[in-house]
Structure 1
């Protein structure tokens, strides 16, 4: 009888452990700086890799806008998010968040200023009186830093340009400029390079006008109350990705990363200062 009770107890513990394992889900999201289908395509192999490394299910949770990512992270609706530098600053001001890793490229990121070829502009100053598009209002490389650098050049967007619009995403900005919906715009250098390399930019319609100085940008950030051991395992998983390994390189290539490196909140003090100077922090 004791043996039977012991067996039943063991079985119940095993079932309980299995249920707990099934319930362990790392919920991940990303700022919607590209089309939803592209974000899903880029994340799928990375998500599968993290599931294997962490021994838990990884679920991608799409959101409608940048603010939704900040809200979800600060309210524990998601565990980890791919944030731009400005979005990270916003999240850190509204709650406790921890940046874990960034692409090596994100320590020297840039924005691109592009123009419709028909405009004939050769410099930023030539855009006076033209229409201009930023990406999302909460985008680091599609709004905050381009605005900051324009202002350092003596260009106040709302008075220098005929009108200022927000496309909502980097690829949308390129489409707007190409179609003539706006004369010029600013976007993430990485997305611009990807679109050019994939032949999705018609060089007869869109020209590169200028490149911004470098700044810190994207990172993978977790909610502050996420288990510290899990934080360490997530960090280790990203740092383990080796470009010399073909499978790892495929994941890194989709993330447009040569490799991932550790990051820290202090790296984004410059972004915070730029946001304050531009009057964008609330």
Structure 2
């Protein structure tokens, strides 16, 4: 073998090695770029007006971006079912569920949905029944009346109110003159206040917020029944999310400090003083109520 031939072969080997090395660097660079561009896609059940959901999430999203080191995008959904399907089908990464929608998602995914945190209030959440009528004082007085729930998949706007009606021996489908579904808690208040129905049921937190904002006139619309407490809302993710990311998200929520002005704004918008850990077992009673009410097959 001549010296020139050897030189050419050595040169070719060096070029090949360099190409492999460059390929490896490019691969690492692309992986780092993909990681840096990772986005946490977040949504929430549409239990309030879309503009209100966006307003509530904006400072929380900015806070999570800083804590997680990734982009956080809020993706609104059209209805409760879309929030469930979005998480199960990997179109969303984290969702603010009600207790019933969490149960639906967990059942549909065969136990692959993990609730991370809930507000402290969600350990003993409540629904309120409201009316403008002077002849409605208790649940039994609803017989023969018109009534609206919120969304069909709402825990506090449908499932639990229906459960307490059934416990009072009132079948909404046969004992009420007509039932409707407003689609959202604030829409329920509007329907009752506007005389479209005689009464309705909604989330106590939204009711109290509307009163504070002077969007509900208690001289016109009043609460005549408040349910016992039950587990409700939570932030949920899929089980296939990396454990370290799940922990970062949980830690971020648990670290929110009401003594910090910016973080207090986030907590106030979420209508809570703090978040606490939660688990799937907390929602067994909701699942049982859904079965009993014939809402979960």
| TM superposition score normalised by structure 2 | 0.89
1:102 to 105, 114, 118: 118
Matched, 1:150 2:165: yes
- Give the superposed CA RMSD: 2.0
Q: Is the 8 A contact 1:133 1:186 kept in 2?
A: yes
Matches within 5 A, 1:183-262: 183-262=198-277
Cα offset for 1:28? 0.4
1:36 alignment counterpart: 50
Matches within 5 A, 1:123-202: 123-202=138-217
Q: Is the 8 A contact 1:113 1:209 kept in 2?
A: yes
2:79 to 65, 87, 106: 65
Q: Which moved more, 1:269-278 or 1:199-208?
A: 199-208
Give CA-to-partner distance per residue, 1:54-113, whole Å, 9 cap, x none. Answer: 000000011000000110111111000000000000000011111000000000000000
Matches within 5 A, 1:14-93: 16=30, 19-93=33-107
Based on CA coordinates, which of the two structures has the bigger radius of gyration? 2
The answer for unaligned runs of 5 or more in structure 1 is none
Q: Is the 8 A contact 1:100 1:219 kept in 2?
A: yes
2:9 alignment counterpart: none
1:115 alignment counterpart: 131
Classify the secondary structure of the residue corresponding to 2:228.
coil
CA distance in 1, matches of 2:35, 2:265: 28
Matched length: 279
Cα offset for 1:129? 1.1
2:4 alignment counterpart: none
